[in-house]
Amino acid sequence: MLYVVTGPPAAGKSSWIRARATARDIVIDLDLIATALTGPGAPQWNQDPTILRVAHKARYAAIEEAYQLLDKLDVYLIHTMPSAKAMAKYKRYDAEIVAVDPGRDIVMARIEAMRSPEMKRVASRWYSQRKHLPRTAMPQASRQW
């Protein structure tokens, strides 16, 4: 099964996956990929454009390979703001789309405390575009819009 987990930065997408995925599942998380590609002492949420470019390429390769394994295991993919083209592809794979959103105030407070200030812009864009994402049942700790 393919789970596409969407939501603004600092919403709890990674936490949602950690609560459900097993050691045998594949988790494709751009933040974790960027961290794996950087040296010691790099920030956990590295938004350096050069690092992100390499991390995005690695993510795309991982996604394409994971599609081939959906009959053997579960794949959890974090995609903050999937395009219409990406959503169409996910639907072809019968993905379950999960939107994790604890609410704008909580997200902005988390960004203030834990993330770089430019993530507020990304969160604001997610909230302005969320109406284009499908609605799904949410875990108890998150709020569905």
Domain assignment present for residue 96? The answer is yes
Residue bearing the bigger pLDDT, 9 or 132: 9
* pLDDT value of residue 100: 95
> Which domain covers residue 61, as residue numbers?
2-132
Residue 42 belongs to a domain with what CATH number?
A: 3.40.50.300
Domain assignment present for residue 35? The answer is yes
Written as six digits, the tokens of 56 are 């995005």
* pLDDT value of residue 61: 97
DSSP label at 45? S
Domain assignment present for residue 144? The answer is no
User: Mean of the per-residue pLDDT values for the chain?
Assistant: 87
Backbone φ/ψ region at 100: left (φ over 0), alpha (ψ -120 to 50), beta: beta
Dump the DSSP string for 47-100.
Answer: --HHHHHHHHHHHHHHHHHHHTTTTTS-EEEE-SS--HHHHHHHHHTTPEEEE-
* pLDDT value of residue 107: 95
Domain assignment present for residue 137? The answer is no
* pLDDT value of residue 130: 75
Domain assignment present for residue 141? The answer is no
* pLDDT value of residue 144: 37
Mind listing the pLDDT tens digit for each residue in 101-125?
999 999 999 999 988 888 899 999 9
Domain assignment present for residue 138? The answer is no
Mind listing the pLDDT tens digit for each residue in 42-87?
776 667 788 889 999 999 999 999 999 999 999 999 999 999 999 9
Domain assignment present for residue 139? The answer is no
Does the pLDDT of residue 141 top 50, yes or no? no
* pLDDT value of residue 115: 80
* pLDDT value of residue 3: 98
**If we measure between CA atoms, which residue out of 85, 87, 106 comes closest to residue 15?**
106
Domain assignment present for residue 140? The answer is no
- Number of domains present in the structure of the chain: 1
Does the pLDDT of residue 16 top 90, yes or no? yes
